């Protein structure tokens, strides 16, 4: 009983420290260096009846974004613009002889008061059978317009709408702003676009339970860690994202448990941070810059 009370009090201290802070992207010079944060994760991917080794690159960078066209503001001729935190994720792994490449890009406004939801998510899944592409665009601040293009016959090409819900894809960007901004309790979540593609799910939201707690296990490096957990009962899927409890809230890793294809057995995808570096990568595109890939441990 005493141990339970102690754990509860520690969780309150951690949560209070986070809640006392506002949107740290808006006030932290970490995000205004003119560089992007490049993270490289080692992955063990649940696919079919096994886990497969792989690698994931996650890039966080701020930029100006047109709210009407929902593309990068490059010419600065429109006043319909806002500052966003962008997250690019590229995951690669193999299953036997063939390759998988999963890509997603998330565009989340930093002004959460005016723009409480991400404006856009685009994602693609490529493997030797074919390609799937999915894009969410926020319209009228009420719904997500969803364009889904699939190689598979039962899915085909679809355009639909989903009532505005919380995109799980935007958890990573919102978490980096301040974990206190993440929803808690029972929430309607739209699963990640890449997960929808791989599991061939219907384009809809699902009820899930979200919680934010201290993380006291020893399977990941670092101290003063927090965990954001989302549990989907209907999908039999749980994701736990582990991060440092102080800005800029570095994401140490995550665990995603869901039924495997073919046998339905619960297996866990694991992603663990191996390297992190701030880079102006868009200007580092010559042959000599390839040495940076070795520094990051990129395959």
Read off the pLDDT of residues 70-108 as tens digits, 9 standing for 90 and up: 999 999 999 999 999 999 999 999 999 999 999 999 999
| Residue 218: how many other CB atoms lie within 10 Å | 6
pLDDT (tens digit per residue) in 131-158: 999 999 999 888 999 999 999 999 999 9
User: Percentage of the chain with pLDDT > 90?
Assistant: 86
Instruction: Specify the pLDDT at position 15.
Output: 46
The residues with which 205 forms a beta bridge, in sequence order, are none
Query: Between these two residues, 3 and 236, which has the higher pLDDT value?
Result: 236
**pLDDT class of 200 with cuts at 50, 70, 90:** very high
Instruction: Specify the pLDDT at position 16.
Output: 46
**Model pTM?**
0.92
162 and 204 Cβ atoms separated by less than 8 Å: yes
Instruction: Specify the pLDDT at position 140.
Output: 86
Query: Between these two residues, 21 and 31, which has the higher pLDDT value?
Result: 31
Give every CB contact of residue 207 below 8 A, 6+ residues apart in sequence: 186, 187, 188, 189, 232, 233, 234
How far is C-alpha 241 from the chain's CA centre? 10
State how far the Cα of 20 lies from the Cα of 252, in Å rounded to an integer. Answer: 22
User: Which run of H or E residues covers position 60?
Assistant: strand 50-66
Of 26-35, 53-62, 76-85, the one with minimum mean pLDDT is: 26-35
């Amino acid at each position: 009983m005493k141990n339970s009370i102690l754990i509860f009090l520690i969780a309150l201290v951690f949560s209070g420290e986070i809640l006392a802070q506002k949107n740290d992207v808006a006030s932290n010079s970490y995000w205004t260096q003119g560089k992007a944060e490049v993270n490289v994760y080692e992955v063990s991917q649940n696919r079919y009846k096994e886990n497969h080794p792989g690698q994931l690159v996650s890039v966080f960078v701020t930029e100006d974004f047109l709210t009407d066209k929902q593309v990068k503001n490059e010419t600065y001729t429109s006043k319909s613009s806002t500052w966003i935190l962008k997250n690019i994720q590229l995951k690669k792994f193999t299953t036997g002889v063939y390759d998988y490449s999963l890509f997603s890009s998330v565009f989340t406004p930093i002004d959460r008061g005016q723009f409480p939801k991400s404006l856009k998510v685009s994602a693609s899944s490529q493997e030797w059978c074919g390609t799937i592409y999915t894009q969410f665009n926020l319209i009228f601040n009420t719904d997500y317009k969803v364009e889904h293009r699939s190689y598979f016959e039962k899915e085909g090409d679809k355009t639909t709408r989903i009532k505005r819900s919380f995109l799980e894809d935007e958890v990573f960007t919102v978490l980096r702003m301040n974990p206190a901004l993440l929803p808690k309790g029972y929430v309607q979540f739209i699963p990640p676009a890449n997960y929808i593609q791989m599991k061939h799910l219907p384009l809809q939201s699902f009820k899930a339970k979200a919680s934010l707690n201290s993380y006291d296990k020893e399977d990941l490096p670092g101290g003063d860690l927090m965990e954001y957990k989302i549990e989907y009962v209907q999908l039999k899927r749980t994701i736990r994202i582990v991060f440092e409890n102080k800005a800029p809230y570095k994401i140490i890793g995550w665990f995603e448990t869901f039924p495997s294809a073919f046998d339905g057995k619960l297996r866990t995808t694991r992603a663990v941070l191996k390297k992190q570096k701030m880079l102006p990568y868009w200007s580092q595109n010559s042959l000599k810059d390839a040495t940076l890939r070795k520094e990051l441990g990129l395959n």
